[in-house]
Amino acid sequence: MGIIETHIHLYSDEYKADRNALIQQAIDAGVEAFYMPNVDVHSIEPMFAVEKDFPQHCFAMMGLHPCYVKEDYKEQLAVIERQLASRTFVALGEVGIDLHWDKSFLAQQQDALNIQAEWALKYNLPIVIHSREANAESLEVLKPYMQRGLRGVFHCFSGSLAEVTLLKTYGWMIGIGGVITYKKAGLDTLIEEIGIGQVVLETDGPYLAPVPYRGKRNEPAYIDIIAQKIGDVLHMPKEAVVEQTTANSRLLFGNSFRNSK
């Protein structure tokens, strides 16, 4: 069973020089699928280009990232909605709330998240949540949708045991990436409470490279390092981590998109 990489920005300019080689290297190393989150209206076409080059392995999401929610967010959301209506996507994402860089657009981020959560239900798509220094705010918006059956994943999770418990109650997945290899992050302790049954693997490349590559460009093949670290923490063989996280990914995202394009 191959690895499913649930969150990587393969269309990023940081991969421009060697993108195809890096993707092929990861495929050869056992990655069977890459799920690509959209960020704004400008990333759509580059993302589609990667999908076209690797149609059996690279799959697009559609959404407006909270860091790109600015004065024009409703115009951007109109483009996002047209895309959602025009074809099939593996998920709606990445969306959410980010209060790390700028708190001045919180109201707009909350509105955008509400709108996109409604779309996820409308189109029967899992939602991929970006929540940075904003878990309370994100969950306040999302909980009513969870109660209506919204399913999804908290990407690059960093939160409390109480938040883990809430997400598990609603059957949500938790995305674990390179941060688990950072000594002071505390994620290695938290994952013991999460358990492997609701974890999916991600790199968030080109960002957040795992140790020993921290601070450098994160590459698709580094997903293997993350799987190994999770196995070390949970005292499981890496192969068992891959098998369970891939099953988790298939449960959340499904396989119907493979035959829908």
Largest separation between any pair of C-alpha atoms in the chain: 48
Confidence of residue 254 (pLDDT cuts 50, 70, 90): confident
Q: Please give the pLDDT value at position 12.
A: 98
Q: Which secondary-structure segment (H or E) carries 166?
A: helix 161-169
DSSP 225: H
pLDDT 10s digits, 3-49? 999 999 999 999 999 999 999 999 999 999 999 999 999 999 999 99
- Domain extent for 185: 3-259
Tokens linked to 215: 């601070």
pTM: 0.95
Q: Please give the pLDDT value at position 255.
A: 61
CATH number, domain of 144, equals: 3.20.20.140
- The total of other beta-carbon atoms located within 10 Å of residue 234's CB is 18
In the sheet where 31-36 sits, what is the strand order?
3-5, 31-36, 58-60
Q: What is the mean pLDDT of residues 191-195?
A: 91
**Do residues 203 and 229 make contact, with C-beta atoms less than 8 angstroms apart?**
no
Name the residue type at position 135: N
Q: What is the mean pLDDT of residues 183-191?
A: 90
- Total structural domains within the chain: 1
pLDDT 10s digits, 54-113? 999 999 999 999 999 999 999 999 999 999 999 999 999 999 999 998 999 999 999 999
Angle, CA of 33, 66 and 167, to the nearest 5°: 65
Query: What 3-state class would DSSP assign to 214?
Result: coil
Tokens linked to 210: 């795992």
Angle, CA of 107, 155 and 77, to the nearest 5°: 40
pLDDT beyond 60 at 258: no
User: Which residues line the annotated binding site?
Assistant: 7, 9, 94, 130, 155, 204
Angle, CA of 67, 176 and 251, to the nearest 5°: 100
Q: Please give the pLDDT value at position 260.
A: 40
User: Which residues line the annotated binding site for a divalent metal cation?
Assistant: 7, 9, 94, 130, 155, 204
